[in-house]
Chains A and B, each alone.
Chain A
Amino acid sequence: MTCSCESGHNHNQVNPYVPYRMKIKDVIIENPEKDLKTFILNFLNPEEEKSFTYIPGQFAEVSVFGVGEAPFGIASSPTEKGVVSFTVKKLGQVTSSLHMLEKGDVIGLRGPLGNSWPIEKLVNKNLVIISGGFAFTTLRSFLYYALDPENRKLFKNITVVYGARNPDQLLYKAELSEWSKRDDLDLKLTIDRGVEGWNGIVGFVPAVTEQVVKEASNTVALVCGPPVMIKFTIPVLKKIGFTPDDIYTSLEMKMKCGIGMCGRCNIGSKFVCKDGPVFSLKELEELPAEY
């Protein structure tokens, strides 16, 4: 859906710098190191919830009042009413502060921002979803959306290759386990090196992609992961027969305003916050490699 003012923006918010107030409904610890947490948020003002419509792939600026703001991909799906969620790796000042917060605490949210996964283009297509590590978040949003009984019929076969360093680092484990039982989804989970108790696939994401994905016709690939994963996955996809037009990825950049003004997230003439974060490989190949 190219956002042409129907959804994906928040029109009620006149001042784009004023955040919504969100209450932390729940915090889910995603890994034993406890440096990956999912924050499930509710709007404090129900009116604002109605005006917050988004599409999988969009992001938002999340703020810890008194500390600062940082951009995160929205991990929840628009089909999950009443909540907005984000999975956050503890890394810098804002994320470390977020990790100290608990259920009931209030944080800020500005958004939704940016474009989205190209949903209109994906209709009636086979989908290959490739992800690594904690970059799975907005693809989880999309998958949840696509697997909704109302939406599943819009898309043909869906194949997911999702890898992590070890089984502990896979996000949304309970959900993945549910999804693995579905017959309308081909879910391939992989880990970098074999460990005891893991009976699934072992191997890096690009190699597993090569084994699993055989067909590129009428198929679109959505890829999101660490740069090294993307670097080695793209050639594999091209070899299978994907054109740069049918490969999409979502980029990360340091951001402040999120609305194309503060000037730091550009790649060439494109702003990742406003023109992205989702780009087709074709679009990326036309931009300087400065990301």
Chain B
Amino acid sequence: MIYQIRKDDFLSWLKKQREGKKVLVPTRKEEGYLFLPWVGDELDLREYTNTLKPVKDVFFPQWETLIRYRVEKEKSGEIVEETSRTEPLILFGVRPCDAKSIKLLDNVFDGEKYKDPYYCQRRKNTLIISLGCRELGPTCFCQNIGINPLSSEGSDILLVEFEDRYLAQSGSDTGLEILEQAPFTPAESKEQKIFDELNGNPARLNEAEFRSLALNNMPDFNDSVWEKLYQKCLNCGICTYLCPTCHCFDISEMTLDSEGKRVRSWDSCMYSSFTLHGSGHNPRPTGKERIRQRIMHKFNYFPQNYGVIACVGCGRCVAECPVNFDVREALKLLGVWKDDLQL
């Protein structure tokens, strides 16, 4: 079922949400768009393709305190505070690729056996309103790997711009509850048809097809192609920081006077220290093993474990790599890219 809302009405509705919730919207900054708390009354979405940073840090911040504890001798380890407080949040303007990335991260942080309470709490507290892509950015490649830029997967509500309105589709029960009330109204059959037309399977390859390519055609672990692949990579890690599905982290400790903190921060498989043992042994000693790990994790290990590819085709790694390492070219070299590559 498709709903609709006039853009003006939506703006008023979103404004009203600020009374009880924090609202993050794509905000234009000198360097590009970032998700920031919405101040003012207008949304400036001219030239918005996607945010510079993925949306993952709303749920899995780059740096956060896990626990605070005492360090004085007799009280050592006494927990002062366990969880960080989170507030109800609305994320508006998330692109479908990034919305999907959150669903992928749920597999990791909201697992069967272990749940990450920090991530899960934020996830529970956040409403995701995504904005479907009518046009793709220069490095977007979602469609080549089976992701629909108008999908509501991972969103509570998907909005698609159409003339002076947004067409809306729910991606969750929470989303549906909202859409069933004013100011949202059920769309007429005409709009329904327009939505279906826009949404007429724009992905050029379905995800299952790509997944099967990645699972079955990936070269052998010791194939010489890996030797070729890593040569120009600087191991700077920018691709992992900007990747919406990268979730590796470090846990470290900080102490000040009588209090200590256990802190989690993003880490990267591109760094040699990431896997370096205390003994000096390193299972991934060079860039070759690390690039192989990054690609295999996304396109082979993750689908083995969770049944889905851990790349959403947002293209940030392509756009921001200082030496123009292009994951699409890499996949082509590895024989798991089906489409012609027109770069």
Contact = CB atoms under 8 A, between A and B. Distances in A.
Interface of A: 9, 14-19, 21, 63, 65-70, 91-92, 95, 105-108, 227, 252-254, 256-257, 259-269, 274, 288-291
Most chain A CB inside 10 Å of its own CB: which residue of B108, B109, B253 = B253
B83 A254 contact: no
Contact of B250 (A16, A67, A262): A262
B260 A65 contact: yes
Contact of B275 (A92, A254, A261, A289): A254
Q: State the main secondary structure of chain A at its contact with B.
A: loop
Interface stretch (B50-58, B63-71, B319-327): B63-71
Interface string B97-141: 000000000001101011111000000000000000000000000
Nearest to B261: A66
B12 interface: no
B277 A254 contact: yes
Contact of A21 (B77, B111, B250): B77
B255 interface: yes
B191 interface: no
Contacts, number: 120
A235 B293 CA distance: 29
A95 B248 contact: no
B117 A15 contact: yes
Contacts of B77: 19, 21, 65, 106-108
Given A260-B111, A260-B114, A266-B297, A17 B67 contact: yes
A192 B279 CA distance: 21
A290 B302 CA distance: 17
Contact of A14 (B73, B78, B117, B262): B117
Contacts of B283: 253, 267, 290-291
Most chain B CB inside 10 Å of its own CB: which residue of A18, A264, A269, A288 = A264
B267 interface: yes
Given A16-B116, A17-B67, A254-B276, 18 more contacts: A15-B83, A17-B66, A21-B76, A63-B253, A66-B255, A68-B253, A91-B279, A106-B76, A106-B77, A108-B77, A256-B251, A260-B108, A263-B249, A265-B275, A266-B297, A266-B301, A269-B304, A269-B305
Nearest to B70: A65
Q: Sort A-B residue pairs by CB-CB distance and give the 4 closest, nearest first.
A: A263-B248, A92-B278, A269-B301, A66-B255
Contact of B267 (A105, A108, A264): A264
Interface residues of B, number: 50
A70 B117 contact: no
Q: State the main secondary structure of chain B at its contact with A.
A: mixed
Contacts of A260: 108, 111, 113-114
A268 B253 contact: no
Interface in B262-296: 262, 267, 269, 274-279, 281, 283-284, 289, 293, 296
Contacts of A256: 249-251, 267
B13 interface: no
A261 B117 CA distance: 12
B17 interface: no
A66 B269 contact: no
B170 interface: no
A69 B305 CA distance: 27
Given A15-B117, A16-B114, A107-B77, A264 B253 contact: no
Contacts of B248: 262-264
